[in-house]
Amino acid sequence: MDRPLRLGIAGLGTVGASLARLVTARAQTYALRAGRPIEIAAVCARDRSKDRGVDLSGAQWFDDPVALASQAEIDVFVELVGGSEGAALDSVKAALNRGLTVVTANKALLAHHGVSLARLAHKKGATILFEAAVAGGIPIIKTMREALRGNATSRVYGILNGTCNYMLTRMEKEGIAFEDVLADAQRLGYAEADPTFDIGGFDAAHKLAILTSLAFGCEIDLESIFVEGISSVTTADIEAAEELGYRIKLLAVAQRTESGIEQRVHPTMIPAASALAQIDGVTNAVAIDTDLLGSILLAGPGAGGDATASAVLSDVIDAARGVRLPALGVEPARLAPYKRARMRAHEGGYYIRLSVLDQVGAFASIARRMAENQISLESIVQRRREGEADDETRPVILITHETTEAAVRKALDAVSRDGHLRGEPRMIRIESLS
């Protein structure tokens, strides 16, 4: 058997500790699968004395990830420090500069610096692997980087944030309001004390930025992503969706259009009968539309120490087996520049909910504003449910045929200005699935 593969693990939090326990407890199995033993040669964590359920006394301990990456006698540097800058970035650079293989679960690092790190890796004959950075245990990176190479991809989309999906699922199944579900999710540990990164859609955007590059062979561009979180989704929207044959999910979508590549994260109505609509709770799912395959769907756990460790192990064993692929699928110099398609040019159907004042001509005025913007309506529902609206307004729900984001925004601005509404119009995009 070949000589052992020596790991240096920077960060012994939930994922790092899980990884260390697995590598130790399953040494024989992993040696079989890797063709050689895997050993933990070096680790780095703030607290050396903490009980992590694994004996790491045989490993070299470092206080600083950069020192570990620069000095430890290792073959693979596993970065589980987190954050897009600082120790994470510096340690990964140090490891790549030595020509080491880097395995990371750090979506923020890749979303911000993926291309420059891929360039550095290429220059130094190093490798950077990151299956764990997107959708936890779902092998979406391997699938897009390797399995779909024969295809031209037209769209990749998915449920990439477990916290949001858990919250939307509970709102739907139990009819609980957003704020109450959020409080519950925080109590249960599914949402952070500051939940903005998740519920604002930013976590999903980081993951999407990486998938976009793999899907279209272009550079990563996090900043261009249109992001809208789930905090404005109401149980009324969810009920209306259900009646119309849809379910609401926070979808991340990257799509090739005539004007470039659209990247967007927003609450989305998808057909209730689709497989994607059945993805409930903290589960993630990604679908990819390609020319040879049509559509394929992958679903599984999006987070958790063991699921993320599983993805890290997939990369570690690839490294042990000598697999060496360009980080983003092609040599970094061959990545196309990212060409942004503006959100205003987005085409699709729209769900619009208005709280209309009970005035003569209100409805005619709304209909006129839609027509002025060439928006044709698939359905119009006007009704009052018990306890939902006050005496002076009634909820009106419009479903448009395919139109543009620009037209909808313009029409809704005009409707607002006309003074027949209470509050702002609500709008949720509808995604056609293949």
Contact residues: a second copy, CB under 8 A: 22, 26, 29-30, 32-35, 131, 137-139, 142-143, 146-152, 217, 273-275, 278-279, 290-301, 306-307, 309-314, 317-318, 321-326, 329-331, 334
Residue pointed to by tokens 């994922």: 15
In the bound state with a second copy, the residue whose beta carbon lies nearer, of 13 and 300, is: 300
Between CA 254 and CA 231 the distance in angstroms is: 22
Is 142 designated active site?
no
CA distance readout (Å), 92 to 98, 207, 321? 10, 19, 21
In the bound state with a second copy, the residue whose beta carbon lies nearer, of 269 and 312, is: 312
Three-state DSSP at 85 gives coil
Min dist. Cβ of residue 304 to a second copy (A) = 9
Between CA 350 and CA 212 the distance in angstroms is: 24
| Letter string b/e over residues 15-25, b meaning 16 or more CB atoms within 10 A of that residue's CB | bbbbbbbbbbe
Min dist. Cβ of residue 271 to a second copy (A) = 10
CA distance readout (Å), 189 to 15, 150, 231, 376? 16, 41, 18, 44
Task: Name residues whose C-beta falls within 8 Å of residue 225's C-beta, 6 or more positions apart in sequence.
Answer: 205, 208, 209, 263, 264, 265
In the bound state with a second copy, the residue whose beta carbon lies nearer, of 102 and 129, is: 129
In the bound state with a second copy, the residue whose beta carbon lies nearer, of 41 and 299, is: 299
In the bound state with a second copy, the residue whose beta carbon lies nearer, of 100 and 276, is: 276
Min dist. Cβ of residue 87 to a second copy (A) = 25
Min dist. Cβ of residue 115 to a second copy (A) = 16
Q: What is the CA radius of gyration of the chain?
A: 24
Between CA 158 and CA 251 the distance in angstroms is: 5
Structure tokens at 307: 């699921």
Contact 148/288 with Cβ under 8 angstroms? yes
Min dist. Cβ of residue 122 to a second copy (A) = 11
CA distance readout (Å), 420 to 288, 416, 426? 42, 7, 14
Min dist. Cβ of residue 412 to a second copy (A) = 34
Min dist. Cβ of residue 283 to a second copy (A) = 9
Contact 68/93 with Cβ under 8 angstroms? no
Candidates 207, 249, 339, 410; catalytic one: 207
Contact 149/124 with Cβ under 8 angstroms? no
The gap from C-alpha 419 to its chain's centroid, in whole angstroms, comes to 38
Phi, psi of 425 (to 5 degrees): -65, 145
Closest-CA residue to 204 (of 238, 163, 236, 233):
163
In the bound state with a second copy, the residue whose beta carbon lies nearer, of 3 and 149, is: 149
In the bound state with a second copy, the residue whose beta carbon lies nearer, of 193 and 292, is: 292
Min dist. Cβ of residue 167 to a second copy (A) = 20
In the bound state with a second copy, the residue whose beta carbon lies nearer, of 20 and 421, is: 20
Contact 166/192 with Cβ under 8 angstroms? no
Active-site residue set: 207
